[in-house]
Amino acid sequence: MHVIGYGTTEASAELVPLSFERPDMRAGEVEIEITHCGVCHSDLHQARDDWGNTVWPCVPGHEVVGLVTRVGDGVTKFKEGDRVGVGCMVNSCQACGPCEQGDEQYCEGPKSATLTYNGPKKPDGSNTYGGYSTGIVVREEFVLHIPEAIDPAEAAPILCAGITTYNPMKHFGLKEGQTLGVAGIGGLGHMAVQLGKSFGAKVVALTTTEAKRSDILELGADEVVVMSDEEAVKNAAQSLDLMIDTIPYPHDLNDYIPLMKPNTTLCVVGNIIEFPSFDPAQMIFNRVAVSGSLIGGVAMTQEVLDRCAEHGIRPLIEKIDIDEVSSAFGRMQEEDVRFRHVIDMAGLKSRMNDVDAKKIDPPARGEVVGR
């Protein structure tokens, strides 16, 4: 399967066209023509090696929507022409405790879960390439049905931003009438606001950007607290039953822990770099837990897609052509997007034969368990 994608070969380089061959489809696998791919802040972190684990070349993209073009022997859930999605994973052992419980993202198998991109497999170090590309081949177990009610471009961010914020709401038992705090109202946070309302919760948005207030209220938030407003922050003290912290870069948790009621949880889903300072006293004296959560399993990702279809929840998106992705990265850094870029792959597919793309090695693939 000949593919053109956009990626980078070093942290300081712009994303450029890259040419490679996807491995041939095997039994139990699904071949997908990609129509749309969301642009996640983690794509920027990975391409710039902010986490120190990037394997080159790096072809980002884990909010993938497309059409099934072929299915392998034994595939029963999908057929040619189906509109489908692929999230942050393309493989796991399917046999360990977390996998059997539907938490494939925490796979304890010998190679752990395989990420859709930058998922190198030891000992050979072969890499995976993601959805900033024209096509992909994925195991049936990691392919999702996109509900007819959801536009394919709008479906893409649900596959990461949606599941990443939905999972902790489910895990920590958000209930009707409780108060949910959402820290950081970007790609993840604007989905968290809408999903929190679907649980019947009161939603308080915590932002550093006053200019976002009207947009946040239109999303359905009940209150907006601008974190530079000392009086507003003081009035919000000990008011939250659950907080989802979506801020994707280092920041001071000490500003947010005082907003939690006693015996509640602040869940970090955005920042995996570091916290520059941390005062445990605020936790200890109110028995506040600081936790973390990583995306969600395949079944729960399907669940959040279906929930968004049922409740009319949609990300606010700006569609771009793939050759605009480097400028989209810059706009993300400047917080100049409301609230998610989505790549429309039609432009790249129409000019595949004319793209001057550097040839790179084929990507890694996962083994099909139980086939």
Tell me the per-residue pLDDT of 170-229, one tens digit each, with 9 for 90 and over.
999 999 999 999 999 999 999 999 999 999 999 999 999 999 999 999 999 999 999 999
55: three-class secondary structure by DSSP = coil
For 39, phi then psi, to 5°, come to -105, 110
137/130 Cα distance (integer angstroms): 10
Nearest C-alpha neighbor of 85 from the set 39, 43, 124, 32 = 32
How many whole angstroms separate alpha carbon 368 and alpha carbon 326?
A: 35
Q: Which of 210, 282, 203, 287 is nearest to 246 (CA)?
A: 203
238's tokens = 């000990």
Return the biggest CA–CA distance within the chain.
Answer: 64
**DSSP string over 180-249:** EEEE--SHHHHHHHHHHHHTT-EEEEEES-GGGHHHHHHHT-SEEEETT-HHHHHHTTT-EEEEEE---S
Tokens of 213: 């207030």
Domains and CATH numbers, the chain: 2-160+297-359 (3.90.180.10), 164-292 (3.40.50.720)
Q: What are 293-315's pLDDT values in tens digits?
A: 999 999 999 999 999 999 999 99
Question: What string of pLDDT tens digits covers the 371 residues of the chain?
Answer: 999 999 999 999 999 999 999 989 999 999 999 999 999 999 999 999 999 999 999 999 999 999 999 999 999 999 999 999 999 999 999 999 999 999 999 999 877 899 999 987 655 667 999 999 999 999 999 999 999 999 999 999 999 999 999 999 999 999 999 999 999 999 999 999 999 999 999 999 999 999 999 999 999 999 999 999 999 999 999 999 999 999 999 999 999 999 999 999 999 999 999 999 888 999 999 999 999 999 999 999 999 999 999 999 999 999 999 999 999 999 998 888 889 999 999 999 888 888 899 999 888 765 544 33
Q: What angle do CA 323, 324, 330 make, to 5 degrees?
A: 135
Helix, strand, or coil (residue 361): coil
Contacts within 8 Å (CB) and 24+ apart, 94-100: 94/141, 94/369, 94/370, 95/369
Phi first, then psi, for residue 249 (nearest 5°) are: -140, 165
Contact predicate 314/154, CB 8 Å: yes
Query: Can you name the residues that pair with 71 across neighbouring β-strands?
Result: 30
